[in-house]
Every structure is written in C-alpha cells, then in structure tokens.
Amino acid sequence: MMYPHVIDVESFISTDDGMGGSTEEWSVVLTAIEAHVQPISGNEYYQAQQIQNPVEVDIFTPYNEVISSSMRVKHDGKILNIKSVLDQGGMNEVLLLKCSMSNAQE
C-alpha cells in the first residue's frame, strides 16, 4: 500500500506544574508518520451520520501498537479525532484509523 501523506499523532498529557497542580495539553507522540488519508464516500458518510460518533475520514498507516483511540491526528492543518483503531487483516501490518473532524484549532 502506498502512503502519500504524512501525519502526526498526539496524546493528551497531564504535566506537573511544580506548584501542586497540573497542566493538560496535547503533545506529539509520533511525528511524520506515513499515511493514506481518505475522506469516506458519500454513502459511507450518510451511514456514519446515523450513529453517535460519526466517522468522516479513514487513515491507513503502517501498524504501530502505540496508537489508540484516545489520541488524535494532525494532518494538513486539520485535527482529526481517532474514533477507532483497527488492525487491517489482523496481521499487524496496516492500521485503519476511523476519525472525525475536530472543531479544535491547531
């Protein structure tokens, strides 16, 4: 499979602020990952809108056990929330990330 795009994967991190509190922010955990970012088709989009967590973008990337559904993806100036992480074919070769568009800004 070809991977014509590049993505960054971020995780929500809580950092001790040194004064008894903490700061929470998104932090890049994987950078410049090869990917194929593909908006879903019209029929798939209609079906996705019928569920509570709609999916608008599929991302295919080489298998990486670090990536989870609690993370998000940055691609081409957009933030995509990962809704599910699927091992395509069950052979630990390709991951499919089902994502929705975020309203958050970079």
> Tens of pLDDT along 85-95?
999 989 999 99
CATH placement of domain 5-12+25-101: 2.40.10.270
- The pTM (predicted TM-score) of the whole model is 0.81
Distance CA 24, CA 78 (A): 20
CA distance 72 to 103: 12
Residue closest to 75 by CA, chosen among 29, 106, 48, 49: 106
Summarised one tens digit per residue, pLDDT across range 21-71 is 888 899 999 999 999 999 986 555 445 455 555 789 999 999 999 999 999
Higher pLDDT, 43 or 102: 102
Q: Return the domain boundaries, the chain.
A: 5-12+25-101
Alpha-carbon distance 103 to 106, whole Å? 10
Cα distance between residue 75 and residue 73, in whole Å: 6
Res 11 pLDDT > 90: yes
- CA distances to 18, 89, 105 from 73, rounded to whole Å, are 29, 22, 12
